[in-house]
Structure 1
Amino acid sequence: MLHDQLSYTLSAEYFTRFKFIQFRLEGQLDKPYRLLAAIVGFRATWWVGIYLGVVHGFTGLMQTSPHRMFVSISRGILLNLLTVLVTALLGLYIGYQLPQTGTGWSLPPGLTDPRDFIAVGSMHNFSYLGGAIGALVGAGYQVYYYYRQRYLLTRLA
């Protein structure tokens, strides 16, 4: 939802000309557009929390104590979120380069600012990619954390 608030700031048209239609919110345009952007953000990503919970939760089960599980899952999720942030910003940067080279996207006619529309669309696409990559990075960290703790315990014994 926060992601979509930033996206809305960068390109309101991305929501008014695409996302509100995609999520069938045209009948609610009397509500504040920021609220509708938050609704889009929730509807578009509620399932991501389930996916990440399963990935990080199951990976965390390998830890040897509840404390280590909490630490590894927390750090794994943080790495996941940082990966999403970096890939989203990369997507935004690339999106601002795309109009110069052409995107092949079917854009709504009459856009006031197609460059911002494309950049935000690219940022959204990269964010999903970042979520998947971040899940692997976060889970990989948890595996590393487990083996590092195990190694330290054997050295101390």
Structure 2
Amino acid sequence: MNVLYPSFPVRRLPTMALIAFLGAVVAGVYGAVHDQISFAISPEYFTRMKFRQFAWADVGLPPRAFASEVGFLGTWWVGLVAGWFAARAGLAELPRSDRWRCTPRCFGIVLAAAAVVGSAGALVGLVEARSGDLSSWDDVRTLLEVEDVPGFVVVAYLHGGGYLGAALGLILAIVYVRRCVTRAAL
């Protein structure tokens, strides 16, 4: 099996593209919901940083709706990559019935890992925020003019943990997909 560079029958390409597309949609929706939670914890994470990063996509939505848009735009590509690698790991070669049973579970593994590790990141951020010493965040406070540094710290760790969790989830999902392929071959 070759996961990193293309070497597959061309007839599998539409299925692989569909799985990658579904991954992008699932991840984008997850990001939109995730950023609603993040916005509730630290609006400044968005108003002082994320909205500036995604200014090109600002079509005049209210801040909470724009946060969801930012969440979608910030995560769809993670799902695209995860879907592509899961398809390459064997989802695309499974018989149709097995494929559509394994695909939601595969995405569920990635989502669950992102949520669990993201939550763990938020807890780490909460511990740091409550430590009383946020001097390591002075540059951020000054550069972005952040007033609620503790909330900003929690959300920064939440987001970092979520991306780390998605990477870990992809590894676990690939292991799961390989097991599906092995079972289907029996």
Fold shared, TM-score > 0.5 on shorter chain:
yes
Between the two proteins, the alignment pairs up a number of residues equal to 149
Using structure 2 for the length normalisation, give the TM-score.
0.71
Q: Please state if 1:9 is matched with 2:44.
A: no
Using structure 1 for the length normalisation, give the TM-score.
0.83
Structure 2 residue aligned with 1:116: 151
Shift of 1:72: 1.6
* Aligned amino acid, residue 92 of structure 1: A
Distance (whole Å) between structure 1 residues aligned to residue 49 and residue 125 of structure 2: 16
Q: 1:111 aligns to what SS in structure 2? A: coil
Note closer, same or farther for the CA distance 1:83–1:57 as it changes in structure 2 (3 Å cut). same
Distance (whole Å) between structure 2 residues aligned to residue 62 and residue 84 of structure 1: 26
Distance (whole Å) between structure 1 residues aligned to residue 49 and residue 75 of structure 2: 17
Indicate conservation of the 8 Å contact 1:88/1:127, yes or no: yes
Q: Can you give the 5+ residue segments of structure 2 that lack an aligned partner in the other structure?
A: 1-31
* Aligned amino acid, residue 72 of structure 1: C
Equivalent of 1:104, from 118, 136, 153?
136
Indicate conservation of the 8 Å contact 1:17/1:108, yes or no: no
Structure 2 residue aligned with 1:91: 121
Q: Percent identity?
A: 30
Distance (whole Å) between structure 2 residues aligned to residue 26 and residue 127 of structure 1: 22
Q: Please state if 1:38 is matched with 2:68.
A: yes
User: Structure 1 residue runs of 4+, over 4 Å off?
Assistant: 25-28
Q: Can you give the 5+ residue segments of structure 1 that lack an aligned partner in the other structure?
A: none
Structure 1 residue aligned with 2:180: 145
